[in-house]
Amino acid sequence: MIIPPRGRHLQRATTMPELPHDATALERPSAAILGAMGLRRAIVHRIGAVPLVATAFAKVGAPLDTWLAARTGGRVTLLGKQTMPQLVLTTTGRKSGQPRTVTVAYGRLGDELLLVGSNFGQEQHPAWALNLEATPSADVDLDGARFTAHARLLQDPAERDAAWAVMDAVYPGYRAYRARVQNREIKMFALSVVPVATP
């Protein structure tokens, strides 16, 4: 899916945007609002792990989420930032060579952003993960800050364990996805900002 930017000015970041160390951290609204958000997150996390729901979202919800997030700089998504931290990722199609844009949940570990190619627990890898493996450079749009990132495929078991600990905290449904996937190893990436060259 190709999503051209529409009518908005984006800041070009040269370093990783300032984020809470825990990507799931919430701003501190009132206790009542915080409780409602916590309930919403719990519901989304529970039903998102159901196979039929995950498959339906992969086919219908994910493209709509990408359309919405790309047009708002990632500020608005179907699930809401408080429910699921997401960024807008533009990779290069490994076959077409054309830009391909998706929304992806992320976590943070040190100065890197973590992405998981779970594809909602389906047996095939998501296209964005295969694209990123083939061309490990991508544009990232995170809350209106846009930057170029270099992607590193995580293969070391210790690194993957550390990344899973972060991502399971972001979305506990990943555990169900891992249990369902039998014929592939879920791809995990760590993204770092590519510094902008100055004359």
Q: Residue 51 above 60 pLDDT? A: no
The per-residue pLDDT for 48 is 52
> What percent of the chain shows pLDDT beyond 70?
56
Express each pLDDT in 20-31 by its tens digit.
Answer: 334 433 333 334
Calculate the average pLDDT of the chain. Answer: 74
The per-residue pLDDT for 34 is 34
Tokens of 14: 């040269």
Which amino acid is residue 24, in one-letter code?
Answer: T
Helix (H, G, I), strand (E, B) or coil at 77: coil
Express each pLDDT in 68-108 by its tens digit.
Answer: 666 666 666 666 555 678 888 999 999 999 999 888 999 99
Give CA–CA dist 94/92, Å, rounded: 6
Model-wide pTM > 0.85: no
Express each pLDDT in 174-185 by its tens digit.
Answer: 988 898 888 999
CATH classification number, 28-193, choose in 3.60.9.10, 2.30.110.10, 3.50.50.60, 3.30.565.10? 2.30.110.10
Confidence band, pLDDT 50/70/90 cuts, at residue 55: low
Please tell me the number of Cα atoms within 13 Å of 153 on its side-chain side: 14
